C-alpha cells in the first residue's frame, strides 16, 4: 500500500496484521479519488472504520485541510498513527478510538465535507450510521461507502440520497450526497 499522489506521494503505508481488516485495493482507491478529485482540496474529512488510515491519509496528501480517523480496535488505530507519522501528516489529523456510530452521534458541532466508510462487510446498522452521518455533513458533503458488491444499500438514508455506485470485482463503492443538492 502506498500513497498515490500529493505531498506524501509514494510513501509506503503499513497494514494492520491479521485478517480482521481489509485494506482498500489500489484500483478501488485510485478510482474513488478520481471520482472526488475536485472536492478534496481544503476539505474536512472523516475516515470511519479507518483501519490503516490510507483513505484519510490519501485525502490529506492531496490537500484536505483535516481528517478525523475513527477506529474501534486500539491496535489497528496505532497502525494508522504510525502511518500518519511516517507521511508527515499527523499535524492535520485527529485519532479517535471507539465506535463509529457513537462518534457520529456525538459529533454535533462538526461538519465534514467528505466521509469514508469501510465497515466490515455485511455490518448491521449501516443504514442507521448513514442516517446519522447526514447530520454532520456540509451542504455539499459526500459520503463514500465501501461494501461487498452483493450488499444492498438504501436509496435514501435520512437527508442523504444515493448518487452513484461503482463495482470492482467483489467490492462496491456507493456515493451518497445530501438530498437537497440532487433533487
Q: Which pLDDT belongs to residue 20?
A: 60
> The domain 26-181: what is its CATH number?
3.40.50.150
Residue/partner pairs of 103-107 with CB below 8 Å, 24 or more apart: 103/48, 103/70, 104/48, 104/129, 104/132, 104/133, 104/135, 104/136, 105/132, 107/136
Question: Is the CB of residue 20 less than 8 Å from the CB of residue 29?
Answer: no
Please state, in angstroms and rounded to a whole number, the distance separating the CA atoms of residues 151 and 121: 8
* 32-48 mean pLDDT: 95
104: cell is 457520529
pLDDT at position 183 is 45
For 162, the grid coordinates are: 444515493
pLDDT digits (tens, 9 = 90+) for 98-135: 999 999 999 977 899 999 999 887 777 889 999 999 89
| Per-domain boundaries in the chain | 26-181
Q: How far is CA 50 from the centre of its chain?
A: 7
Q: List pLDDT tens digits, range 2-39.
A: 999 999 998 999 988 764 666 787 899 999 999 999 99
55-70 residue pLDDT tens? 999 999 999 999 999 9
Amino acid at each position: 500500500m502506498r500513497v498515490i499522489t500529493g505531498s506524501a506521494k509514494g510513501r509506503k503505508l503499513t497494514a494492520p496484521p491479521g485478517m480482521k481488516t481489509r485494506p482498500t485495493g489500489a484500483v478501488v482507491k485510485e478510482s474513488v479519488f478520481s471520482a472526488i478529485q475536485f472536492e478534496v482540496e481544503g476539505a474536512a474529512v472523516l475516515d470511519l472504520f479507518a483501519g490503516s488510515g490510507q483513505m484519510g491519509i490519501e485525502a490529506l496528501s492531496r490537500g484536505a485541510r483535516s481528517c478525523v480517523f475513527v477506529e474501534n480496535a486500539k491496535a489497528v488505530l496505532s497502525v494508522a498513527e504510525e502511518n500518519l507519522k511516517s507521511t508527515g501528516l499527523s499535524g492535520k489529523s485527529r485519532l479517535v478510538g471507539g465506535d463509529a456510530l457513537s462518534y457520529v452521534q456525538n459529533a454535533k458541532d462538526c461538519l465534514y465535507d467528505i466521509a469514508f466508510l469501510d465497515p466490515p462487510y455485511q455490518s448491521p446498522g449501516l443504514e442507521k450510521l448513514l442516517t446519522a452521518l447526514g447530520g454532520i455533513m456540509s451542504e455539499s458533503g459526500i459520503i463514500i461507502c465501501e461494501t461487498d458488491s452483493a450488499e444492498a444499500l438504501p436509496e435514501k438514508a435520512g437527508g442523504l440520497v444515493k448518487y452513484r455506485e461503482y463495482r470492482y470485482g467483489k467490492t462496491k463503492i456507493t456515493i451518497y450526497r445530501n438530498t437537497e443538492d440532487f433533487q
